[in-house]
A and B are shown apart, each in its own frame.
Chain A
């Protein structure tokens, strides 16, 4: 079994890329293209689960590309850490694709193919054990992302995509320069041969250039500012998928490089701790100043990345376990929240907190998904956030870092305030007066393929509003000025379903916290003792 899987390992990368490429050739067969795309992503998730099962005992699977000698061949290696992330990213991409299809954006000829190429690139970045190959796969991830931001931009605006390209290209260039410098001082870019190489200050400096580049992609303070501007410029599904794949793949690289090349050297601990803690606090504080749901959540994500990076800074078994569990929790909770607010934004035509209200009584499904995602983000039981956050606090306490413990608690409190802002503005209170007009405008625009700033005929708009009010009759006894008037626009179940599915996963991970933590513990052990990984990378 293991031998066959090892032999097939490159297919995890190759199949999504190939099928994604082939799907570009069927621009008009919407149903077929969407089905094939969903099946491929489902298969990728299944492959991820298989890899998790096979590596759950701490073993490492490898494949050396071609028949080149060891050290020259490009190695693909998967341990439990990469297998877990591969699974979670595949699941989120799959559910994101489901949302795209439900929202009608899957009919856009290139959206599903680009998504598959993105998934292939992510798998490659998670699997490769070669720094230059890593750069290539990061680029393979980025190119379809540029396309996705462009074809699915909400306002027909390319400003967000433009910024995304510029920032990421600069970061990639820096990363490539770092890889070049590592090659210059060590003569190799194979992670197996580079194990512990950063004991040499020259190598440490070269690797630091590399990490600086990747830190931009991970949106670590002080280079996090681009995130909110770019992620909110595309549709919500794209925000959900990008938040799960782009920043987290970058965080994965930081973990992997720091574990293998630096072997968790304590020399750098104060620097890393400071960066991680400041990122956590700045993200959480900045979120409070945001007026729209999605940009608020994006800043919360910056905060989450800070918390995740605390693990690599402390580098104790418990802290790493906690960080890996937190990373998985964070990816799922965040994706669920993004799809929740996305469904609202898609239906009601706005993501501004001030322009919404009273959804609590109208949208039970989406409210439930939001409550689960929000409480999980804050870290309350019985959701995955509780398990992960308790572990993070225990890990920091065990390492004797009182300030870190206080930071995590303070960040949780700020997260609570942030989600309460959304709750108070969007779910509680009265409906906004113009909510029907906005929702109707959004529907007309979607139906006719208009951009968000194209004008709409007033009469058509009024007809659409009346029709929506007609379709959903008020329940008996609610009339006129009643804030709980149930007439008008509702979020379609198909659009709410992706968020609900992820919310169910969040609850499942919270209740099955034992499993999450034990898997994370094995993954963490693989980062602390890299012998198995290095041996696997350096063997046939």
Chain B
């Protein structure tokens, strides 16, 4: 039960943060989300049997090693992607559309935000 509550709390907080403005908040949100899902994977294997699953241990009490392997893999992947996302948080400040126009700290004026949807190209040097 406490595991279920923890998963719910982590995923709820993660979703809340992902919906916030600012890339750093989104990155932190994803960190919480992946923690929640990792706990879900552990819960999928059952938490009642906890003896290390070595050779010779009674299978009735041995922990299920497969979800643990899943979680290890998932942690590694999540770590790599967190690093990538953290990079996205620090590069390209001038077109960070996760920031609102007022709290973008780079001082870029709103007009220069490119809109990828319509792929409007910026005026060339001469036109400007």
Contacts and interface: CB of A to CB of B under 8 A. Distances in A.
Contacts of A159: 92, 95-97, 114, 116
A200 B107 CA distance: 57
Contacts of A256: none
A136 B71 CA distance: 11
Interface stretch (A170-178, A214-222, A271-279, A405-413): A170-178
A291 B118 contact: yes
A317 B66 CA distance: 37
Contacts of B122: 155, 452-453
Contacts of A136: 73, 77
B16 interface: no
Contact of B45 (A183, A291, A294): A183
Interface residues of B, number: 43
B41 A438 contact: no
Contacts of A181: 40, 44
Nearest to A228: B117
A292 B118 contact: yes
A349 B125 CA distance: 13
Contacts of A349: 121, 124
B12 to A, nearest CB: 14
B40 A180 contact: yes
A158 B91 contact: yes
Interface stretch (A101-109, A161-169, A320-328): A161-169
Given A162-B98, A165-B88, A180-B41, A458 B126 contact: yes
Interface in A139-165: 139, 142-143, 146, 150, 155-163, 165
Contacts, number: 140
Contacts of A161: 88
B119 A295 contact: yes
Contact of A458 (B44, B84, B121, B125): B125
A443 to B, nearest CB: 11
A157 B114 contact: yes
B44 A180 contact: yes
Nearest to A133: B73
Nearest to A175: B37
B116 to A, nearest CB: 5
Contact of A229 (B26, B112, B116): B116
B33 A352 contact: no
A501 to B, nearest CB: 26
Contacts of A456: 124-126
Contacts of B34: 173
B62 interface: no
B124 A290 contact: no
A165 B125 contact: no
A355 B92 CA distance: 27
A399 to B, nearest CB: 36
Given A184-B44, A455-B125, A233 B116 contact: yes
A13 to B, nearest CB: 16
A283 interface: no
A269 interface: no
Contact of B26 (A166, A183, A461, A462): A166
B1 to A, nearest CB: 15
Interface string A343-364: 0000001111001000000000
A82 B98 CA distance: 38
A173 B75 CA distance: 12
A378 interface: no
Given A180-B70, A457-B125, A295 B44 contact: no
15 contacts: A143-B81, A157-B114, A166-B18, A169-B81, A177-B37, A233-B116, A290-B118, A292-B120, A349-B124, A437-B124, A438-B121, A438-B124, A455-B125, A455-B128, A456-B125
Return the 5 tightest CB-CB contacts between A and B, nearest first. A456-B125, A158-B92, A184-B44, A455-B125, A292-B119
Interface of A: 72, 132, 135-136, 139, 142-143, 146, 150, 155-163, 165-166, 169-170, 173, 176-177, 179-181, 183-184, 228-230, 232-233, 290-292, 294-295, 349-352, 355, 434, 437-438, 441, 452-458, 461-462
Given A143-B80, A169-B85, A176-B37, 18 more contacts: A132-B70, A139-B81, A142-B81, A157-B114, A159-B96, A162-B88, A162-B98, A173-B34, A184-B43, A184-B45, A232-B116, A291-B118, A350-B121, A352-B121, A438-B121, A453-B112, A455-B128, A461-B124
